[in-house]
Amino acid sequence: MSEDNKAPERAPESKLEISAESQRWLKAGIALGNDPKALVLCPACGKANLEVIDAHAGGRLDRYIHCPSCKKYNVLTNVVSQKPPTKEP
C-alpha cells in the first residue's frame, strides 16, 4: 500500500503590504483629488492639514499635496477635475 500523503498545496499568502500611512496618503489623495479644499490631516504627522498646490502644465494638472508641519508631500499626477473650467464672460 502506498499512501500518497501529499500536503495540499497552498498558495503563499499574497497580502499587499501597504503601510497604514500609505493608505492614509491614498485616501488623502482621493479626497483632495475630488476637492482640493478638503481639510485632510497630514497622514504622516497628523499635526496639520495638507495644503494643495495645483500645477498646470500643458493640458494636464498635477496636484501637489504637502504638509506644512513635517514637509512630507505627495503628487497626484494628471488630476481630472470634475468641475468644468470657469469661463470668463
> Which residues contact Zn ion by CB under 5 A?
42, 44-45, 67, 69-70
What minimum distance in Å lies between the beta carbon of 21 and Zn ion?
Answer: 10
Nearer CB in complex with Zn ion: 26/78:
26
Nearer CB in complex with Zn ion: 23/81:
23
What minimum distance in Å lies between the beta carbon of 64 and Zn ion?
Answer: 14
What nine digits make up the cell of 84?
A: 468644468
What minimum distance in Å lies between the beta carbon of 20 and Zn ion?
Answer: 15
Nearer CB in complex with Zn ion: 67/79:
67
Spatial CA neighbour of 75 closest among 34, 35, 42, 33: 33
Helix (H) or strand (E) holding 22: helix 20-34
What is the residue-wise DSSP string for 42-68?
-TTTSSSB-EEEEEEETTEEEEEEE-T
